[in-house]
């Protein structure tokens, strides 16, 4: 029997989850739940239904894992604790500072209702967090570094779009290779986020806007750009569409540490992602963890968990025996 | 109370484990067990005892985890099932092809005696295996690649030393950067181990040996060198000692895969290690897993496990709450 998946929210992540389900023969998408009129939402999976999100509770017992694909700002803080009353759920909550609070809310709700919830799945938080955990456990005397990019930052792109005179924009976060190399060489540099990244902006101006003024406004925007080496390119709307409509991302997590009686040997652990599509990759991580949630729920586990709490073998479609024979 | 560690076998790994224990304040080395005369073995930890390996059974109840630091060829196939009768044990068994058999033997012995055993811990098998498992689960449509080096291969160094006319030798496995880049670029090349690595040999000749003949013998050695691009350097004994007495190693595990309805987006996951000391790093991995074994044994787990079966959080000295707040 397949693992029966439900999706709440059909944006980039929702569509990515749908595609990821299709790559995994042990899973089946049963339904997509949307706030829009289902008549107007067309999905890729013929055998799945499109339903109003308000009707989801009728699906109790019909779905093994429900993937919550809303935003971290306002959707997930409400949706995850709510739907964990009725289903085993996974979300991609990525507001790092609010994870403890979110965890507590979801844990309470899931435990009270005998469900299993897994929060903050993806690559950061997610695979990058796992890399940090393994590396720091193995090299307790060391330092962690995370670099992001080359990739599109949605938040920074939005910030540019709010500038007067800007019609559209895309912002790429670019890691500074020299800084990464300094870490690789064991120099243990002290680096702020601004010292690790360049911000490269591709901006389409409104007719008649002043490029000098727009560029200055962007470069001086506090928090977003003021502390960074920011590069602004003005391009046409056509060029933006043609060359900047994809959503690549990635980054690298490094741990530089020492071993030996006097720390005489240096080691570098590096975990790097280069992703053509941020939402599709995030969704692929989520779907691997859906397998884990399904299995752990069948073992009777309840409450809220994170990727830290899940043994790697639960993610794979292969048996323990197969894994030991082929992958260990 | 500290986690009480015992070490069986005081070679490179045994000493590495001892150093790793010293980096972890929640652990304490209680005893080193050796086949040599304990009088002749001096260790780094004043508070630990050196004992005859035959006396280890007297230590039942005094050690939380025993680290077996023998070789995979003849020591561990016997030692791990044997000592799993009396202790929770960890080994670094690294003969990939024989892992299923070893697992079965250790599992039987550990289960019958209510102990927990963890086999094949280190970086390959170990952290590299974990990287392969996560990556292939997240990107089911893709291909795995493992490159080893830059590092010393003990087996190949030994093979050279057996050649007539060779006094001493060190062999470095060198990954071919162009091959790694082809994988990174998503070219999905089909590569044999020989197409991924160069073998670089530093050889000290016996007095009067014929370098031409020695070089030819090395380069034509089946399995070890014949299929490879092999480079032989003849150096003096002093130079070998001065420049080649360390044991660096490392490598990279890559997964190149696609997502999307038609596989239209490409992704690369890369996990890379650069290690100044292979045995010390291996030992550091083992000691992080000793914490996991201690905790899981306290939860009542028994039998044989591998790194695949252990959730990342068990490796860290931090609590779940601390991990979520600082590392997720």
Annotate B135-164 with three-state secondary structure.
Answer: HHHHCCCEEEEEEECCEECHHHHHHHHCCC
Structure pTM?
0.96
- pLDDT at res. B250: 97
Q: In the numeric block, which tokens belong to residue A84?
A: 């964990």
Residue partners of B244: CB distance under 8 A and separation at least 6: B170, B202
Query: What is the tens place of the pLDDT at every residue in A50-92?
Result: 999 999 999 999 999 999 999 999 999 999 999 999 999 999 9
Q: What is the Cα–Cα distance from B93 to B102, expressed in whole angstroms?
A: 8
Instruction: Please report which confidence band the pLDDT of residue B68 belongs to, taking 50, 70 and 90 as the band edges.
Output: very high
Q: What is the pLDDT of residue A71?
A: 93
Q: How confident is the model at residue A310 (pLDDT cuts 50, 70, 90)?
A: very high
In what helix (H) or strand (E) does residue B296 lie, and over which residues does it extend?
helix B278-298
ipTM for the predicted complex:
0.96
Please state the length of chain A.
328
| Section A293-297 average pLDDT | 98
The shortest C-alpha distance from B182 to chain A (Å) reads 14
Whether residues A266 and B273 touch (CB distance < 8 A) is answered with no
Q: What is the pLDDT of residue A156?
A: 94
Give the chain A residue nearest B126 (alpha carbons).
A328
Closest-CA residue of chain A to B281: A259
B123, B138, B271, best to mutate vs chain A, most A CBs in 10 Å: B138
Please give the sequence-ordered ranges of beta strands (E in DSSP) within B177-292, or none if there are none. Answer: 197-205, 229-234, 249-259, 265-275
**Residue B62, pLDDT above cutoff 90:** yes
**Cβ-Cβ contacts under 8 Å for A14 (sequence gap 6 or more):** A7, A8, A32, A67, A69
Nearest CA distance, B215 vs chain A (angstrom)? 32
Over 90: is that where the pLDDT of A29 sits? yes
List the single residue in B with minimal CA-CA distance to A275.
Answer: B267
Question: A with B: how many residue pairs have Cβ under 8 Å apart?
Answer: 206
| Beta sheet of B197-205, edge-to-edge order | B151-152, B166-175, B197-205, B229-234
Q: Is the pLDDT of residue A1 over 90?
A: no
Average pLDDT over residues A29-40: 96
Strand-pairing partners, residue B168, are: B204
Sheet holding A166-175, edge to edge: A151-152, A166-175, A197-205, A229-234
Closest CA to B232 of B195, B194, B202: B202
B279-307 confidence digits (pLDDT tens): 999 999 999 999 999 999 999 999 999 99
For the record, the structure tokens of B72 come out as 């995979």
Nearest to A141 among B23, B265, B266 (CB): B23
User: How confident is the model at residue A172, as a pLDDT?
Assistant: 97
Closest Cα in chain A, distance from residue B18 (Å):
9
**By the 8 A CB rule, do B170 and B154 touch?**
no
pLDDT at B23 (0 to 100): 97
Question: In A241-274, which positions are buried (b, 16+ CB within 10 angstroms) versus exposed (e)?
Answer: eeebeebbbbbbbbbbbbbbeeeebbbbbbbbbb
pLDDT tens track for A83-127 = 999 999 999 999 999 999 999 999 999 999 999 999 999 999 999
Per-residue confidence band for A238, with pLDDT thresholds at 50, 70 and 90: very high
The Cα B228–Cα B237 span in angstroms is 25
Per-residue pLDDT tens for B16-39?
A: 999 999 999 999 999 999 999 999
Given this model, what pLDDT does residue B214 score?
97
Shortest Cα distance, chain A CAs vs residue B17, angstroms: 9
**Nearest C-alpha neighbor of A12 from the set A230, A217, A247:** A247
Query: Is beta strand A116-118 parallel, antiparallel or unpaired with respect to A89-91?
Result: parallel
Per DSSP bridges, beta strands A265-275 and B265-275 are: antiparallel
Tokens of B208: 């009067």
Q: How close, in Å, is residue B256 to chain A by CA atoms?
A: 10
Q: B231 to each of A31, A202, B147, B216, how far by Cα in Å?
A: 60, 49, 18, 11
Question: Tokens standing for A40?
Answer: 């107007």
Overall average pLDDT of the B118-130 stretch: 98
B328 CB neighbours in chain A (<8 A) are 96, 99, 120, 125, 129, 306-308
Q: Which one of B120, B127, B265 has the shortest CB-CB distance to A276?
A: B265
- Does the distance separating the beta carbons of A288 and B44 come in below 8 Å? no
Could you tell me the pLDDT band of residue B63, with boundaries at 50, 70 and 90? very high
Mean pLDDT of chain A: 97
Q: Quick check: A297 and A290 in contact, CB under 8 A?
A: no
Q: What does the alpha-carbon distance between residue B163 and residue B155 come to, in Å, rounded to a whole number?
A: 13
Distance CA A43, CA A266 (A): 51
Beta-ladder partners of B33 = B8, B51
Query: What are the pLDDT digits (tens) for A141-154?
Result: 999 999 999 999 98
Among B120, B131, B138, beta carbon nearest to A288: B138
At A241 the pLDDT is: 97
What is the distance between the alpha carbons of residues B56 and A172, in angstroms, rounded to a whole number?
Answer: 60
Nearest Cα neighbor of B45 from B14, B91, B1 is B14
In this complex, which of A22, A103, A271 lies closest to B271 when CB atoms are compared? A271
User: Tens of pLDDT along B189-227?
Assistant: 999 888 999 999 999 999 999 999 999 999 999 989 999
pLDDT band at B1 (very low <50, low <70, confident <90, very high): confident
Residue A166 has pLDDT above 90, yes or no: yes
């Amino acid at each position: 029997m397949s693992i029966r998946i439900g999706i709440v929210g059909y944006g980039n992540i929702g569509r990515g989850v749908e595609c990821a389900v299709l790559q995994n023969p042990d899973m089946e998408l049963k339904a997509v739940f949307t706030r829009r009129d289902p008549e107007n939402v067309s999905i890729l999976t013929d055998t799945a239904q499109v339903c109003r999100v308000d009707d989801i509770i009728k699906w109790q017992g019909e779905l093994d894992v429900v993937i919550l694909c809303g935003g971290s700002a306002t959707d997930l803080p409400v949706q995850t604790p709510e739907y964990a009353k009725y289903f085993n759920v996974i979300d991609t909550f990525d507001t790092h500072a609010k994870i403890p609070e979110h965890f507590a809310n979801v844990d309470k709700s899931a435990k009270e209702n005998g469900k299993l919830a897994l929060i903050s799945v993806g690559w950061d938080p997610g695979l990058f967090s796992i890399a940090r955990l393994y590396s720091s456990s193995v090299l307790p005397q060391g330092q962690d570094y995370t670099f992001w990019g080359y990739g599109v930052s949605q938040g920074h792109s939005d910030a540019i779009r709010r500038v007067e005179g800007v019609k559209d924009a895309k912002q790429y976060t670019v890691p500074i290779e020299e800084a990464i190399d300094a870490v690789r060489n064991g120099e243990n540099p002290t680096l702020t986020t601004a010292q690790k990244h360049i911000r490269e902006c591709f901006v389409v101006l409104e007719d008649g806007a002043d490029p000098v003024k727009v560029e200055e406004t962007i470069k001086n925007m506090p928090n977003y750009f003021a502390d960074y080496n920011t590069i602004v390119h003005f391009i046409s709307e056509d060029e933006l569409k043609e060359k900047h409509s994809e959503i690549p991302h990635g980054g690298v997590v490094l741990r530089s540490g020492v071993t030996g009686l006097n720390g005489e040997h240096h080691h570098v652990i590096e975990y790097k992602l280069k992703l053509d599509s941020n939402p599709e990759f995030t969704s692929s991580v989520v779907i691997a963890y859906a397998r884990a949630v399904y299995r752990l729920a069948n073992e009777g586990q309840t409450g809220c968990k994170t990727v830290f709490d899940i043994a790697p073998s639960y993610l794979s479609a292969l048996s323990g025996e197969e894994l030991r024979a082929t992958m260990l």
